Amino acid sequence: MLEVRDLHVRYATPTGIVAAVRGVSLTVGAEKVGIVGESGSGKSTIGRAVLGLVRPPGTVQAARLAFDGLDLLAADATTLRRIRGARISMVLQDPKYSLNPVQRVGRQIEETVRVHERVGGREARRRALEMLEAVRIRDPERVYRLFPHEVSGGMGQRVMIAMMLVTGPELLIADEPTSALDVTVQKQILTILDELVTSRGMGLLLISHDLELVATFCDRVLVMYAGRLVEECTAAALHRAQHPYTRGLLACLPRIRGPHRRLATLTRDPDWLGCPTP
């Protein structure tokens, strides 16, 4: 569905060119793919590049960046607008900053439908309510009328997901969708995403810093370090990961079950910067 080959994203800064993503290749089908890495590893930039959201001075270069056979790099602004939000959607980390603070949440979901499809007001409203129900909001009529500051973090994130899925996209890019939420709410949101992926045959690209979450939720895991993919494996095989960086990340996590000895810390090998992408 999504095909990325040899993607480079560079930013020109006063002190020189910063390469945020350096030669990343990946494909996403109807599956859950996780990208993990530390802050600054370039994982969010990949999501932005796919949607054409890298702004100047940033530049995107790739041997191929295609969605469903369509070349995203060659596409003009109108074509991209038709794809963004309708066929590929993106959920961001914090609902507090991603929702319009002065518009009722139901209206915001409706707007997504009306921008992408020719539907009337009543139909848009019905679709918005239906979607709120699909993300397990108990009283959709009430929530529909609320403003973003009146909903909790977990509810806000569900509203965001509803907004992104109301057009029935084929691919969802979720950038740290649950990092701002409590663990029990996090689980609910993931369950909703999981069901939607399964029932709609949607592709999901989950960007996260949480290794354990990605390993237990996704089908495949891609590990990023300094703008490169250093490892790719099935989620179930993550604990047998080969790359010293992945092993280091796993080793420095504290465990509930102990033993509570000194935690391993990561020693960064300069060789990792140049290692070939698998």
Partner 1 sequence: MIEVTGLDVTFSDGRTSFHAVRQVSFRVAEGGCFGLVGESGSGKSTVLRAIGGLIERWMGEIRLAGRPVGPRRSRAERKLVQMVFQDPYGSLHPRHTVDRILSEPCTIHGLADVDRRVEAMLTAVGLPRSFRFRYPHQLSGGQRQRVAIARALILEPPIVLLDEPTSALDVSVQAEILNLLGDLRRDRGLTCLFVSHNLAVVAHMCERVAIMTEGRIVEEIDSAALGTGAVRDPYSRELLRSSEGYLAELADGLAR
**Among 2, 24, 215, 224, contact with partner 1 (rule: CB under 8 A):** 215
- Which of 80/185 has CB closer to partner 1? 185
Structure tokens given for 276: 């070939």
**Among 14, 56, 254, 274, contact with partner 1 (rule: CB under 8 A):** 254
**Region of 133 on the Ramachandran plot (φ > 0 left; ψ -120 to 50 alpha; else beta):** alpha
**Among 59, 103, 216, 242, contact with partner 1 (rule: CB under 8 A):** 216
Within 255-274, which residues bind partner 1 (CB under 8 A)? 255-258, 260, 262-266
**Judging by beta carbons within 10 Å of its beta carbon (0-12, 13-18, 19+), is residue 126 exposed, middle or buried?**
middle
**Quick one: which segment of 134-142, 143-151, 181-189, 197-205 binds partner 1 (CB under 8 A)?**
181-189
Size of the site for partner 1 (CB under 8 A): 37
Rounded Cα–Cα distance for residues 200 and 188 (Å): 18
Contact flag: residue 186 with partner 1 (CB under 8 A): yes
**Quick one: which segment of 5-13, 42-50, 165-173, 234-242 binds partner 1 (CB under 8 A)?**
234-242
Contact flag: residue 252 with partner 1 (CB under 8 A): yes
Contact flag: residue 221 with partner 1 (CB under 8 A): no
> 88, 58, 101: which is closest to 175 by C-alpha?
88
Q: Please spell the DSSP secondary structure of 149-208, one letter per residue.
A: GGS-HHHHHHHHHHHHHTT--SEEEEESTTTTS-HHHHHHHHHHHHHHHHHHT-EEEEEE
- Which of 108/246 has CB closer to partner 1? 246
- Shortest distance, position 263 Cβ to partner 1, whole Å: 4
Rounded Cα–Cα distance for residues 84 and 90 (Å): 8
**Quick one: which segment of 18-26, 73-81, 113-121, 208-216 binds partner 1 (CB under 8 A)?**
208-216
Contact flag: residue 96 with partner 1 (CB under 8 A): no
Rounded Cα–Cα distance for residues 174 and 193 (Å): 10
Residue 241: phi and psi, rounded to 5, are: -55, 145
- Which of 39/199 has CB closer to partner 1? 39
Contact flag: residue 38 with partner 1 (CB under 8 A): yes
> 20, 29, 22, 153: which is closest to 92 by C-alpha?
153
Contact flag: residue 211 with partner 1 (CB under 8 A): yes
Within 136-165, which residues bind partner 1 (CB under 8 A)? 153
Rounded Cα–Cα distance for residues 20 and 23 (Å): 10
- Which of 63/263 has CB closer to partner 1? 263
The sign of the torsion formed by the CA atoms of 97, 100, 102, 106 equals negative
Structure tokens given for 141: 């009529």
Q: Which residues bind partner 1 (CB under 8 A)?
A: 38-39, 153, 182-187, 190, 209, 211-213, 215-217, 235-236, 238-239, 248-250, 252-258, 260, 262-266
